[in-house]
């Protein structure tokens, strides 16, 4: 089984990389991009029987820093 974890900076936490991407899109002529937030996707290849609670524990302990980041788990 596989799981996909999406990690994003929390709302309200400045994302200077996203801002830089937004400026670059504007420079390329893409108007109307009001905001860009950049995060990461982590794919996990898991042994059968791994639970969503296990993946949540992985997020809490390592994959996300919950001081600044939020995460979402998608089991496939």
Partner 1 sequence: MRAAVVVFPGSNCDRDLAVAFRAAGAEVEMVWHKDSALPEGIDMVGIPGGFSYGDYLRCGAIAAQSPICGAVRAHAERGGYVLGVCNGFQVLTETGLLPGALLRNAGLKYICRTVGLKVETSQSDFTSAYNAGDVIDIPIAHHDGNYFADADTIARLQDEDRVAFTYTDNPNGAQADIAGILSPNRRVLGMMPHPERAADAGHGGTDGVALFRALAGALATA
- Closer to partner 1 at the Cβ: 17 or 51? 17
**Shortest Å distance, C-beta 55 to partner 1:** 16
Residue with tokens 């991407």: 21
Cβ distance to partner 1 smaller for residue 16 or 35:
16
Q: How many CB atoms sit inside 10 A of residue 15's CB?
A: 19
Q: Residue 5: enclosing H or E segment and its boundaries? A: strand 2-9
The answer to whether 27 contacts partner 1 (rule: CB under 8 A) is no
CB nearer partner 1, residue 11 or residue 49 = 11
β-sheet bridge partners, residue 50:
none
């Amino acid at each position: 089984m596989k799981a996909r974890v999406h990690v994003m900076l929390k709302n309200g936490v400045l994302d200077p990389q996203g801002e830089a991407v937004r400026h670059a899109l504007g420079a390329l002529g893409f108007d109307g991009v009001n905001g860009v937030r950049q995060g990461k996707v982590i794919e996990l290849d898991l042994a059968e029987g791994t639970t969503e609670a296990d993946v949540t524990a992985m997020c809490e302990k390592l994959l996300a820093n919950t001081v600044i980041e939020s995460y979402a788990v998608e089991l496939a």
